[in-house]
Structure 1
Amino acid sequence: MAQALPPPITESDYLPVDPEAAKLGQLLFYDPILSGNRNVACATCHHPAFGTADAMSLSFGDGGIGLGPDRRADTENPPQDRVPRNAPALFNLGAREFNVLFHDGRLENDPDLPGGIRTPMGADMVAGFDSALSAQTMFPVLSRDEMAGSHSSNDIGRAVRQGLITGPDGAWSRIARRVADVPAYLADFQRVYPHVRTADDLAFTDISNAIAAFMALEWRSDTSQFDAVMRGQARLSGDAADGMDLFYGDAGCVACHAGPFQTDHGFHAMGAPQIGPGKAATFETHQRDEGRFRVTGNPADRFAFRTPSLRNVALTAPYGHAGAHASLQQFLADHGQPTQARFDRALVRLDAPVDADFAVMDDPAQVADIAAAVSVPMPILTDAQIDSLVAFLETLTDPASVDGRLGVPDTVPSGLTVPAVD
């Protein structure tokens, strides 16, 4: 029997956004100035042309050139490794209920902590982030393979390698000084944030707060066809209606993809294939990614990953924490049924894949471990049911959110190149 549809989204579901802060954040989001080698912007891996992701299974951050499916390793300055997880979409992150971020949930709001945010930084966490959405910005800029770059190539990467994150010589302060040294940015921060009176007052948290305001405003998604259905203003028909009945009924999707944003914000092991470098400590050599377990240490969390929201999901391929499935049809056929998995490395979207990228999937014992951890087994779906579910998921596409409110700037104050599709 089908469950009732979730309640419609209202204005009260979102945190308020300062539009002037969002305009400043727009420039910073598209400006490579935040990266160690000034060659990677937030938009490099989260571009609206690719549904706020990058259309790759696993991307190259520092050391990559090009954008989206055309991104490849720079032969003159090659990356040290791929980014280990698929770039997640950024829709509705300004909604109040989005309190847990990243595939493994390593960042979350926690009112019991002094700063209100729980992160792997622990005692090194600084005050001043407006929200978890703001705080998430601090991780990509510290990642060698995403934005920081190698210690041998720039001062940011060097500070990260030395463990200098906070403090006057830390990576965050160095990034903030770069931005403050651009007169147009300093003037904008002085206008938007009254506490910024001089260049020395500009902190990395101010940069993060502006970027968070931009993301919250730009990619709010609540005017899709399905939103009209939830508001009682429209009805679905044909395959889309059948797919909605399956989603909220026999297919069991709503067990995890609940609520108005189609996520329970929980963590579930669903048997998604593991490709790429994996997540390992510096003393480890494996290519596994055990997901939530690396955060909690609880064996029950092995291979569990955060339930993604399904807003605009038809535009955000490939799918899974490692982007191992190229299409919704392929993903739905395998979802929660890893023993029947039809994983095909030929369909994986990687630039110049090598055997090492598939080390886990080539090891029957590791594949069996992933399969054994599945916590929410799903029914095996027929091709017709999959087609119906895809038709329903397409009704979650919201053109207004995909286009964005502010768009892609032509230029940024640093004068660096804005990531853009040719």
Structure 2
Amino acid sequence: MGVMDGVSGRLGRRGGWSRGGVVIAAVLLGGCGDDDGTTPLQGGPDLDQELAGVLSTQEVRPVVPPAAQDPRLVELGRNLFFEKEISGRRNISCGTCHHPLLGSADGQSQSRGQGAVGLGPARRHVDGSIFLPRNTLSVWNRGVAGWDTMFWDGRLSGNLTDGYVSPAGDATPQDFSSALAAFSIIPVTPDEEMRGFPGEPDVFGNPNEMADLTNDDFAQIWPLVVARAMGVEKYRAELLALFPGTAEADISIVHLGEALGAFMIDAFTMLDTPFDRYLAGNTDALSDAAKRGALLFYGRASCSSCHSGALQTDFGFHNVAAPQVGTGKGDEAPFDHGLGRVTGVQSDRFKFRTPSLRNIELEGPWMHNGAYASLEDTVRHHLDPVAALSAYDDRQVEPELQGTYQQNSEELLSTLAPELAVKGDPLKDEEVADLMAFLSALTDPRSLNLMHLIPDSVPSGLPVAD
């Protein structure tokens, strides 16, 4: 199956992606809703007036886009993003898991890493069955100021002013301009992701010089990745030209990360949604259904308790009682303790970072482990986690992961985020439909076709296609 075939099939199963509108007047026009917590169903000025008041009260303002990136650095980063030369076996690129045609992710519940071939839902294991333990997060808008935490469990965080913390510990470089650039150099290090396992040669049958290191050998792996890039004359020349005054021996993983970060900021910043237009003052940008959904989202449904602000994330960590399905992670497998793995604090178990909801309908499957194949089912889970867990069916995840659902939910529910509680009566089906209309209005139409981001070839001559 080709790239476009796989994507078309995915679109067809979802019945297409809506481009409904969403937008809010920039001034405070009225009150914040009825005293009984219900949402008015009428349209027109009254609906806009109420929504303007709610968004003003919650300080939902237009998002300031990141600064424009150097086009030359962006182009270098674009090639590196699709370049398999920097992976141990020369068989995986950043684009394998963060593909422009798959919502900047990979369309799988849990990613298939080493030992697999193909792209997205069509990717299949050929040498064993190695699943990465979590769903691939998108990279939409990660260059926006304040986005200083990466990964589902927040194991990388920081900024240029305060410094960076990562799984590399003291070896973490501190010269990155953004957390996104710092994030870009982490996936090259794990054996199950880009580095490869001991004893497995590259695609040409040659030894993989990175394979005998461990996942903790960051300081030894990164120079080998840089050597791979510098071994391609075009990359060598561009890196030296783009970082003038840097000796060849001083080109480091930071320089590669800066190029990758520049590309991702330039390519995946998507801030022209109907909601953005509404925030800019175009009250016609949203349908009445989306406006009613926004009132629910920022009101009675309690979504904005965690998905706050204009990017719909508090960048915090919460336990939403996601079904524990799939491989699990580490010593607690088949469970995944999320933030608790990083902090070691028991009350942090099962907490995961609040994802932004921008382009959320393009990112399925949903949850940290891809537990849900339907966005509406994901929303309904948040509205009533206890009922959702009791009714959960793991036949919606990859066939190899079916039958892995851990139904013992006592510990999972013991630290359930109180923010999830709906205010007042449970939402009716028509209210859920309005909520879905609002989520659809968080999609930037430009994101629906990013074929132009994919280069025809890369400097190493390795294939771009997976």
Note if 1:68 corresponds to 2:120.
Answer: yes
Give 1:142's aligned amino acid.
T
Match of 1:226 in 2: 275
What is the CA–CA distance in structure 1 between the aligned matches of 2:156 and 2:462, rounded to whole Å? 30
User: Structure 1 residue 35: deviation in Å?
Assistant: 1.2
C-alpha deviations, 1:114-153, integer Å up to 9, x for none? xx10112222223433321111122211112211111222
Aligned equivalent of 1:32, options 65, 79, 84: 84
C-alpha deviations, 1:284-315, integer Å up to 9, x for none? 36321111111122222111111101110011
Match of 1:338 in 2: 385
Note if 1:53 corresponds to 2:105.
Answer: yes
Match of 1:399 in 2: 445
Give 2:400's aligned amino acid.
A
Aligned equivalent of 2:420, options 356, 377, 386: 377
Greater than 6 Å deviation, 4+ residue runs: none
What secondary structure sits across from 2:157 in the alignment?
Answer: strand
2:361 and 2:443 in contact (8 A); partners too: yes
Match of 1:44 in 2: 96
Match of 2:64 in 1: 10
User: Structure 1 residue 176: deviation in Å?
Assistant: 0.6
What secondary structure sits across from 1:210 in the alignment?
Answer: helix
Match of 1:105 in 2: 154
What secondary structure sits across from 1:147 in the alignment?
Answer: helix
Distance 1:418 1:237, change over 3 A: same
Give 2:218's aligned amino acid.
I
Identity of aligned residues (%): 36
1:218 and 1:405 in contact (8 A); partners too: no
What is the CA–CA distance in structure 2 between the aligned matches of 1:136 and 1:192, rounded to whole Å? 21
What is the CA–CA distance in structure 1 between the aligned matches of 2:392 and 2:427, rounded to whole Å? 16
Alignment of 1:202-241 (within 5 A): 202-235=251-284, 236-241=286-291
Give 1:263's aligned amino acid.
T
2:147 and 2:315 in contact (8 A); partners too: yes
TM-score (norm 2): 0.81
Alignment of 1:312-391 (within 5 A): 312-335=359-382, 337-341=384-388, 342-348=391-397, 350-353=398-401, 355=403, 358=404, 361-364=405-408, 367-375=409-417, 376-379=419-422, 380-391=426-437
Give 2:327's aligned amino acid.
P
C-alpha deviations, 1:327-379, integer Å up to 9, x for none? 1111011115332013211112x253354xx1xx3342xx2211222112333
Aligned equivalent of 2:460, options 397, 410, 414: 414
2:140 and 2:269 in contact (8 A); partners too: yes
Give 1:9's aligned amino acid.
V
C-alpha deviations, 1:61-116, integer Å up to 9, x for none? 11111101101101xx335x211110001100111110111101111116786xx1
Distance 1:159 1:10, change over 3 A: same
Distance 1:193 1:111, change over 3 A: closer
Distance 1:231 1:321, change over 3 A: same
Name which one, 1 or 2, has greater alpha-carbon Rg: 2
C-alpha deviations, 1:171-221, integer Å up to 9, x for none? 1111110110101111111221214443x3321111111001100111111
What secondary structure sits across from 2:308 in the alignment?
Answer: coil
C-alpha deviations, 1:367-394, integer Å up to 9, x for none? 2211222112333433222221111111
What secondary structure sits across from 1:212 in the alignment?
Answer: helix
Match of 1:150 in 2: 197
User: Structure 1 residue 159: deviation in Å?
Assistant: 2.0
1:159 and 1:165 in contact (8 A); partners too: no
Distance 1:112 1:220, change over 3 A: closer
What secondary structure sits across from 1:138 in the alignment?
Answer: coil
Distance 1:402 1:196, change over 3 A: farther
Match of 2:182 in 1: 135
1:221 and 1:400 in contact (8 A); partners too: yes
What secondary structure sits across from 1:151 in the alignment?
Answer: coil
Give 2:97's aligned amino acid.
C
Aligned equivalent of 2:308, options 234, 253, 258: 258
Shifted more, 189-198 versus 226-235: the winner is: 189-198
Match of 1:119 in 2: 166
Note if 1:242 corresponds to 2:292.
Answer: yes
What is the CA–CA distance in structure 2 between the aligned matches of 1:165 and 1:8, rounded to whole Å? 39
Aligned equivalent of 1:164, options 213, 217, 223: 217
What is the CA–CA distance in structure 2 between the aligned matches of 1:186 and 1:58, rounded to whole Å? 35
2:322 and 2:367 in contact (8 A); partners too: yes
Give 1:8's aligned amino acid.
P
Match of 2:203 in 1: none
What is the CA–CA distance in structure 1 between the aligned matches of 2:160 and 2:226, rounded to whole Å? 27
1:21 and 1:192 in contact (8 A); partners too: yes
What secondary structure sits across from 2:170 in the alignment?
Answer: helix
What is the CA–CA distance in structure 2 between the aligned matches of 1:408 and 1:340, rounded to whole Å? 42
Distance 1:120 1:257, change over 3 A: same
What secondary structure sits across from 1:145 in the alignment?
Answer: helix
1:32 and 1:38 in contact (8 A); partners too: yes
Question: Structure 2: 5+ residue runs without aligned partners?
Answer: 1-31, 34-53, 201-207
What is the CA–CA distance in structure 1 between the aligned matches of 2:274 and 2:327, rounded to whole Å? 38
2:294 and 2:435 in contact (8 A); partners too: yes
How many residues end up aligned between the 2 structures? 398
RMSD over equivalenced CA pairs, Å:
2.0
